[in-house]
């Protein structure tokens, strides 16, 4: 069975309250009962002691002697002798008893008398209506003849009081628990009301109005802190959703222009072209455009995967120095075609990292490509690689156009290209650096950039170092 928080709180409260009250009631009634019990025994002690003072031995027989005109004495004697017996301790013979004892007809046998003489003290027995407690003591006549004095009292009044007490407690405790549970129920409602309000407010928030926030009571209590936490979550969601919106708008823009151009060109060609050569020329140029578009879509897909954490890395130990050298070699012809000098200026012979070579190649190629792209003929691009503080540090420096301080914080954003007119001259859609950053982050690394307009830029990639695989170490000496 499923209970709401309010019911659970109330039940818990009621059970706890009942347990505390029950325990208190039990303790209280036990204490009172114990106290009454010793009270009766003490009273019996006093009665026996008092009676002994009034017992005289007349002709060797124990006899009660008191002033019958003294109301106090008469009252005491009447009270103390209500349950009263005197036995001859030698033969166990009953000498005298009160009227009430006579009616009850509970004489002791000689054995029982002998036992009580040997061990005087308290004993009890049940009559039909009552339970009686007796005090046994031995008194001696002047001639040393022993007698057993039995003085009793009814435990009925005490038992009645105990029963009454239990009855009151059994009635009072459930009533008190009920009242407490009722109070608890209302208190829980009061305490949970802000939760209900939060629930209602949260219900109103959807993807179309992520700018809404949960109300704060301003008390700074747990619920307020919870609301603040949720508001922070909404804030992050809102910015993520906005980013996604911007992303899709940018994609649409990027795709629309070349597609419109392709469409227009195709239409004009259909209308005007007259020779196979015309068609071939247009198709060739369109093929180039289509190639760019397809690369763009591919890049977008990769980036989307990288950003949603789906980048499938197959990392293993690799020598970054060797990788960088081979990529620089590969880019050399493109650099010299643009009149840019590309060289590795400084590197460690081996820099081992754990990475996916295919993805890492993209990082290095993108950085080299940018450096060459944004450097004029006559300039240079320098690559250096070092081990630094447990990290591999790859630097790609160029003497190119540099990046303005305004643009610098944005260059890693998707589709960001500094200064449209300048960028138009160089191919690119502004996804390269976003991809570089995503890949490096997936490898637990960082990318940094330093740049000065018209002087040049330096991109720095820092990646955690890995241990050199032992199999390589063995082969190495050659």
Q: Which residues bind ligand ADP (CB under 6 A)?
A: 370-371, 374, 398, 400-403, 411, 416-418, 423, 428-434, 457
Residue 47 or residue 414: which is nearer to ligand ADP going by CB?
414
Rg of the chain (C-alpha set): 53
In the complex, the smallest distance separating the C-beta of residue 427 from ligand ADP, rounded to whole angstroms, is 7
In the complex, the smallest distance separating the C-beta of residue 409 from ligand ADP, rounded to whole angstroms, is 11
Do the Cβ atoms of 254 and 415 come closer than 8 Å?
A: yes
In the complex, the smallest distance separating the C-beta of residue 400 from ligand ADP, rounded to whole angstroms, is 5
In the complex, the smallest distance separating the C-beta of residue 438 from ligand ADP, rounded to whole angstroms, is 11
Residue 321 or residue 431: which is nearer to ligand ADP going by CB?
431
Residue 50 or residue 430: which is nearer to ligand ADP going by CB?
430
In the complex, the smallest distance separating the C-beta of residue 448 from ligand ADP, rounded to whole angstroms, is 13
Which H or E run includes 42? helix 5-54
Do the Cβ atoms of 102 and 81 come closer than 8 Å?
A: no
Integer Cα distance of 371 and 425 in angstroms? 15
Residue 22 or residue 428: which is nearer to ligand ADP going by CB?
428
Which H or E run includes 177? helix 156-204
Do the Cβ atoms of 186 and 4 come closer than 8 Å?
A: no
Do the Cβ atoms of 381 and 368 come closer than 8 Å?
A: yes
Q: Is 15 helix (H, G, I), strand (E, B) or coil?
A: helix
Residue 194 or residue 456: which is nearer to ligand ADP going by CB?
456
In degrees to the nearest 10, what's the CA dihedral of 191, 195, 198, 200?
-110
Count the residues in the chain.
478
Instruction: Report the residue closest to ligand ADP, judged by CB.
Output: 428
Residue 159 or residue 380: which is nearer to ligand ADP going by CB?
380
- Nearest Cα to Cα of residue 342 among 384, 311, 401: 384
Do the Cβ atoms of 88 and 110 come closer than 8 Å?
A: no
Residue 50 or residue 258: which is nearer to ligand ADP going by CB?
258
- Neighbouring CB atoms inside 10 A of 202's CB total 13
In the complex, the smallest distance separating the C-beta of residue 403 from ligand ADP, rounded to whole angstroms, is 5
Residue 424 or residue 476: which is nearer to ligand ADP going by CB?
424
In the complex, the smallest distance separating the C-beta of residue 391 from ligand ADP, rounded to whole angstroms, is 22
In the complex, the smallest distance separating the C-beta of residue 425 from ligand ADP, rounded to whole angstroms, is 11
Integer Cα distance of 381 and 343 in angstroms? 7
In the complex, the smallest distance separating the C-beta of residue 446 from ligand ADP, rounded to whole angstroms, is 17
CA 357 to chain centre: 41
Residue 89 or residue 396: which is nearer to ligand ADP going by CB?
396
Integer Cα distance of 450 and 43 in angstroms? 103
DSSP string, 207-247: GGGTT------SS--HHHHHHHHHHHHHHHHHHHHHHHHHH
Residue 140 or residue 292: which is nearer to ligand ADP going by CB?
292
The tokens of 172 are what?
């009072």
The tokens of 375 are what?
């450097």
In the complex, the smallest distance separating the C-beta of residue 361 from ligand ADP, rounded to whole angstroms, is 15
Q: Is 412 exposed, middle or buried (0-12, 13-18, 19+ CB in 10 A)?
A: middle
Residue 356 or residue 418: which is nearer to ligand ADP going by CB?
418
In the complex, the smallest distance separating the C-beta of residue 300 from ligand ADP, rounded to whole angstroms, is 12
Half-sphere exposure of 438 (CA within 13 A, CB side): 25
In the complex, the smallest distance separating the C-beta of residue 415 from ligand ADP, rounded to whole angstroms, is 8
Residue 10 or residue 457: which is nearer to ligand ADP going by CB?
457
Q: Is 171 helix (H, G, I), strand (E, B) or coil?
A: helix
- Nearest Cα to Cα of residue 181 among 9, 22, 40: 9
- Nearest Cα to Cα of residue 362 among 305, 278, 279: 305
């Amino acid at each position: 069975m499923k209970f709401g928080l309010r019911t659970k709180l109330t039940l818990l409260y009621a059970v706890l309250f009942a347990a505390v009250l029950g325990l208190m009631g039990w303790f209280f009634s036990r204490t009172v009962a114990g106290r009454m019990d010793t009270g009766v025994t003490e009273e019996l002690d006093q009665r026996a002691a008092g009676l002994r003072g009034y017992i005289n031995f007349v002709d060797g027989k124990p006899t009660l002697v008191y002033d019958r005109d003294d109301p106090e004495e008469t009252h005491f004697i009447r009270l103390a002798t209500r349950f009263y017996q005197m036995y001859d301790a030698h033969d166990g013979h009953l000498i005298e008893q009160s009227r009430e004892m006579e009616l009850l007809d509970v004489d002791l046998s000689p054995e029982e008398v002998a036992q009580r003489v040997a061990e005087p003290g308290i004993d009890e027995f049940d009559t039909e209506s009552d339970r009686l407690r007796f005090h046994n003591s031995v008194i001696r006549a002047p001639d040393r003849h022993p007698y057993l004095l039995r003085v009793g009292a009814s435990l009925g009044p005490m038992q009645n009081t105990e029963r009454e007490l239990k009855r009151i407690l059994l009635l009072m405790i459930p009533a008190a628990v009920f009242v407490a549970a009722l109070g608890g129920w209302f208190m829980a409602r009061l305490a949970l009301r802000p939760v209900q309000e939060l629930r209602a407010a949260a219900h109103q928030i959807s993807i179309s109005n992520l700018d809404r926030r949960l109300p704060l009571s301003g008390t700074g209590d747990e619920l307020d802190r919870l609301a603040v936490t949720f508001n922070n979550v909404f804030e992050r969601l809102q910015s993520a959703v906005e980013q996604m919106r911007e992303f899709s708008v940018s994609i649409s823009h990027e795709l629309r222009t070349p597609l419109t151009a392709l469409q227009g060109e195709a239409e004009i060609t259909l209308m005007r072209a007259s020779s196979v050569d015309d068609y071939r020329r247009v198709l060739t140029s369109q093929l180039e455009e289509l190639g760019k578009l397809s690369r763009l879509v591919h890049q977008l897909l990769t980036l989307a995967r990288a950003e949603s954490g789906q980048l499938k890395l197959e990392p293993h130990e690799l020598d970054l120095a060797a990788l960088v050298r081979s990529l620089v070699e590969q880019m050399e012809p493109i650099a010299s075609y643009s009149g840019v000098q590309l060289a590795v200026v400084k590197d460690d012979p081996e820099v081992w990292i754990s990475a996916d070579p295919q993805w890492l190649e993209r990082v290095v190629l993108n950085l080299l490509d940018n450096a060459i792209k944004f450097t004029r003929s006559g300039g240079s691009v320098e690559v250096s690689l070092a081990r630094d503080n447990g990290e591999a540090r790859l630097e790609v420096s160029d003497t190119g156009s540099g990046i303005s301080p305004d643009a610098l914080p944005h260059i890693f954003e998707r589709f960001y290209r500094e200064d449209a007119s300048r960028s138009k001259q160089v191919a690119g859609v502004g996804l390269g650096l976003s991809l570089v950053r995503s890949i490096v982050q997936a490898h637990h690394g960082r990318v940094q950039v330093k740049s000065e307009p018209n002087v040049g830029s330096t991109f720095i990639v820092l990646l955690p170092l890995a241990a050199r695989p032992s199999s390589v170490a063995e082969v190495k000496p050659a």
